[in-house]
Structure 1
Amino acid sequence: MSAAFAHGLIVGKFYPPHAGHHHLIDTAAARCARVSVVVTASTAESIPLALRAAWLREAHPQAEVTIAPVVDDVEIDYADPEIWSAHVTVFRHALALAHGGAPEIDAVFSSEEYGPELAHRFGAAHVGVDPDRGRFPVSGTMVRRDPASCWRWLSPAVRGHLARRVAVVGAESSGTTTLARDLAAHYAARGGPWAATRWVPEYGRTYCEEKLALARRRAKATGLPKPWLDDLEWESPEFATIAERQLLWEDAAARTGSPLLVCDTDALSTSLWHERYLGVASAVHPRARHDLWIHTSVEDVPFEQDGWRDGEAVRHRMDARFREELALRGLPHLVVSGPPHARLERAVEAVDALITQGWAFAAPL
């Protein structure tokens, strides 16, 4: 079936994109030979233009859809014809950059009241799409006001960006994994958008197990004695790899989870283990995405040797280093001690406070 229009146009802030936006773009793509989506953002807004454009390109990879980002710092006044003209000039500039010239537009797709006027100024037909938000009862304003209540309307990329990330950190055998698992289960039990709350395990443990297994295979093949943990030699790039892969695990989990992601360790922890094994702090620090750190104290937790841990003396030394670094870096954190139920109660109080703060978005222009 041939397309109803040659070139459709959509203009919006996509601050941030949601299901209504995606429906609008998909509808236009189904009815046009090609579609241009002009993404406008003012310099006063807190989600970068490039990030919004990347989210839309990921969600709409069709060859016929072109994402055209542009900075638009013109004030909003739909009653002022001069302001209207200024906006249209910006839109045409975005189209010219995206297409290497000034393309003809024969249809404007919109769910907004300004849609007909925008179509008129491009000399194009107006196609209204779900203007009463009956199919997708969501708007950018609603998302910015309360992302959690709009979670089901957000794409994986936007969820990954907005999810609150809590890192549970501490020395060996201090209950980090127990608390991370219990904290995630507590929020998942709340249901609704929180039902998908997940916790991300420690990649460093997996890396260490694989490293030892490889060393043992090599030793067996050459007739050498079976190596143990203390026999392993470490290099600085390995810790950078562990930190980066930990973040990849986090990002993947955040895209499919709830508004909260619980992380068992972080890049700070990896840098401290780099210090422990190589004697100097790591110079590589992957981008941090966490909103809160929970330090599990070694107090009230008996040391358990599972065959992978250094020992009691090292545990206390590392516990002190975590306290020092969290305070030195000024990271938002709390220290939990006592039995598991007490630690969980304190952690929930802190996470609830974080969630109550909400998400901070700069007001759109």
Structure 2
Amino acid sequence: MFTNALVIGKFYPPHAGHKHLIEAAAAGAENAYVLVQGSRFESLTAQQRADWLAEEFAERNVTVIPVRNDCPVDYSSDEIWTAQQENMRLALKVHGVKSIDAVYSSEPYGDRLAAGFGAVHVAVDPQRLTHNVSGTLCREDLAAAWQQVLPAARRGLAVRVIVVGAESTGTTTLSEELTQHYRQQFPALADVPEHGRYYTYEKLEALQVSNPAATVDDLVWTDTDFGVIAARQTALEEAAAEAAPLVIADTDALATTLWERYYLGDGSYGSFAALAQLPRRDVYLLTDHNGVDFEDDGWREGEHRRPEMTEWFKETLTEEGHSWILVTGSRERRLATATAVIDAILTQQATFASPEWAGRTILKEVA
């Protein structure tokens, strides 16, 4: 058993092979230190990657340290090698780590790196047989490698499109059409329905046990109800982000706070706690009430409040600094507007910038 083990890497993005490597270090040493080296030339910050790894290993003897490293990579240069190793040494030093006993790696440079720290090199699956994945593979085809990316990173990387709007403005229609459209590209794309509607069904069924004649008008809403709805809505969204690189959600916890205001007034805040866990958003699609006939399905309040609710959404999304687009016009026009922006975001998300000296890991084919 070593005292201090070191794992270094870009973790760009962190994947199952990285997890295997870090687990090996954690099992072989009292303390495992993971240096996450990120540069200005890359699309993800070192802090983002470190946060994802820290979440994965929160219950382990693992300390994750993000460090900026804009130094070129040139394994044939002694000067560059010295600059790289000093970057690592100082990152450890300022975190109170004075010595390293073992360096765990899957890379050919592991022996030299360990020697520089006066440590033992422990090679872990250098042929990538346990997990046939690399950062290069993930960056070149993120969708194909999605399930190999660590769950926290998947949740952080997924493109999140949230469809919101007043009653009977086409939010569910647009959500379903977008899901159907993009499921051709992402077969694992999950449904993220409006949980509040299903919660209403359940609440009415529970009431009808004691009062069979009860209708939706007999329901009594509390701030606790909206807190439960908001938390569950976020949980559905997070599960969808782990399943596929794209999330299409029919409402979210932020919208739930507006519906709470709608039903209970300005003094009710049961759903607001969920905002602390609100994931990163890429874009909100706000369905316009104009040009959409009101359909009373027996569960809705009425047409007269749609303009007011639409304005609430516009105000709140703007105040909170979110990107939002008012989708209006025919169903075809709304879908075209939505897919245009989503396609652009997906292209951006799947593009990982790298400096000119970045290497590529070529995996051997597994028989």
Same fold (TM over 0.5): yes
The amino acid of 1:247's aligned partner reads T
Unaligned runs of 5+ in 1: 97-101
Task: Report whether the alignment pairs 1:211 with 2:197.
Answer: no
SS in structure 2 at match of 1:47: helix
Cα distance, 1:352 vs structure 2: 0.8
After TM superposition, give the deviation of residue 156 of structure 1 in Å: 2.3
CA distance in 1: counterparts of 2:38 and 2:347, whole angstroms: 27
Deviates more, 1:208-217 or 1:34-43: 34-43
Q: Cα 1:84–1:322, aligned 2, differ >3 Å: closer, same or farther?
A: closer
Q: Residue 126 and residue 292 in structure 1: after superposition, are their counterparts in 2 closer, same or farther (change >3 A)?
A: same
Bigger drift between 341-350 and 143-152 goes to 143-152
Cα distance, 1:133 vs. partner?
Answer: 6.0
**Deviation string for 1:139-179 (max 9, x for gaps)?**
2x665677446424312221112101100111122221121
State TM-score, norm by structure 2.
0.76
Match in the other structure for 1:168: 163
Q: What is the deviation of 1:234?
A: 2.5
Which of 249, 265, 273 aligns to 2:236? It is: 249
Distance 2:329 2:68 in 1: 53
Where in structure 2 are there 5+ consecutive unaligned residues? 356-367
Listed as ranges, the matches of 1:180-329 within 5 Å are: 180-190=175-185, 194-217=186-209, 219-220=210-211, 226-255=213-242, 257-280=243-266, 283=269, 284=272, 285-286=275-276, 287-329=278-320
TM normalised by structure 1 equals 0.76
Letter in 1 for 2:348: Q
The DSSP-based 3-state class of the residue aligned with 1:299 is: coil
Judge conservation of contact 1:296–1:337 (CA < 8 Å) in 2. yes
Tell me the residue number matched to 2:349.
358
Measured after TM superposition, the shift of residue 21 of structure 1 is 1.3
Shift of 1:269: 1.8
Two-structure CA RMSD over aligned residues (Å) = 3.7
Tell me how far apart the structure 1 counterparts of residues 137 and 268 of structure 2 sit (CA, whole Å): 42
Task: In structure 2, give the amino acid aligned to 1:211.
Answer: K
Aligned counterparts of 1:179 and 1:276: Cα–Cα separation in 2: 23
Q: Residues 46 and 26 of structure 1: is their aligned pair in 2 closer, same or farther, counting only changes over 3 Å?
A: closer
CA 1:362/1:238 → structure 2, altered by over 3 Å: closer, same or farther? farther
Q: Is the 8 A contact 1:167 1:293 kept in 2?
A: yes
Say whether the 8 Å CA contact 2:230–2:252 is kept in structure 1: yes
Pick closer, same or farther for the CA change 1:47–1:180 going to 2, 3 Å. Answer: farther
Which is worse superposed, 319-328 or 157-166?
319-328
% same residue: 40
Report the equivalent of 1:154.
149
Residue by residue over 1:323-352, the C-alpha shift from the partner in whole angstroms, topping out at 9 and shown as x without a partner, is 444445453222223443332222111211
Q: Are the counterparts in 2 of residues 183 and 262 from structure 1 also a CA contact under 8 Å?
A: yes
Contact 1:253 1:261 in 2 (8 A): yes
> Per-residue displacement from partner, 1:281-327 (whole Å, max 9, x unpaired)?
76523424221111122334332222211122233442343344444
Residue 234 of structure 1 aligns to a residue in which SS? coil
Question: Secondary structure at 2:289's aligned position in 1?
Answer: coil
Return the alpha-carbon distance in structure 2 between the equivalents of residues 39 and 282 of structure 1.
45
Q: CA deviation at 1:23?
A: 3.7
Q: Note closer, same or farther for the CA distance 1:86–1:275 as it changes in structure 2 (3 Å cut).
A: closer
**Aligned match of 1:99:** none
Deviation at 1:108?
2.9
Decide which moves more: 207-216 or 166-175: 207-216
- Pair 1:186–1:73, CA change in 2 (3 A): closer
Say if 1:138 and 1:153, in contact at 8 Å, map to a contact too.
Answer: no
CA contact (8 A) 1:46 1:362 kept: no
Tell me, yes or no, if the aligned pair for 1:295 and 1:335 is still in contact at 8 Å: yes
